[in-house]
Structure 1
Amino acid sequence: MSSTNETLRVPLQRLAHGRTGDKGNVSNISVIAWHPDLYELLVAQVTEEAVARQFAYRRPQRVTRHLLPKLQAMNFVLEGVLDGGVNDALNLDSHGKALAFLLLELEIDVPAALVPLLRQPG
């Protein structure tokens, strides 16, 4: 973690938690803010482009974000990331259940004023 210009760069897991689901070759990942005041920061930085970069090695065909502001959450639909789906994949995680953890490693810049709202590591 580095601190520059009164911001702290931390993994997304300090700001939010996630859940993963699948259907065929499509994974969906929900990201839910730990605190309502962190939601706008998530909206600004956890974009379709940022998620596509985070999963570049899985070569998603498309990444779509759905915002759920009343829940301080968002849902990402990643098409073509499960190696063909449960019945076709040789991947040990053919359901993609671990993909939420990969997304939660995305680094986020947090203004100093919001640092007290972050979850502590570990």
Structure 2
Amino acid sequence: MPRKKYDCLKCPGYCCSYPVIEVKDRDAARIAKHFDMPLAKAEKKFFKSSHGYSRVMRRKKDKYYGRICQFFDTEERRCTIYQARPWACRDFPGKDNCGYWDFLAFERNAQEDETYVSTTYHIER
């Protein structure tokens, strides 16, 4: 397996700000189980239909990106359901490097600030 060329632990959660994070049936069941609740209750509480998808993650306000996945801790910049996260999140970015990480690493180097967060790369869809 190719070695990853990015570090999610140093990223402010760009991919978590995508307006559509699809949730498949198995993902919804896993998330409901994570919270020890019936699937029907989880469906109403955590998901909605949007952008032509029958089930996507609900979002909340975020100081950097405007809106972000409801399960993202906006202070710690981490997923709060990492073990139960949907397949779309598990598979992202689907290759050994992440375009946003490349951009972020470049900006942090140019700014000489390891904590710099650029919001200019984000394009709301």
- Pick the TM interval, shorter chain: 0.3 to 0.5
Q: Which structure shows the bigger proportion of residues in helix conformation?
A: 2
Q: Which structure shows the bigger proportion of residues in strand conformation?
A: 1
Task: With the length of structure 2 as denominator, give the TM-score of the two structures.
Answer: 0.33
Task: With the length of structure 1 as denominator, give the TM-score of the two structures.
Answer: 0.34
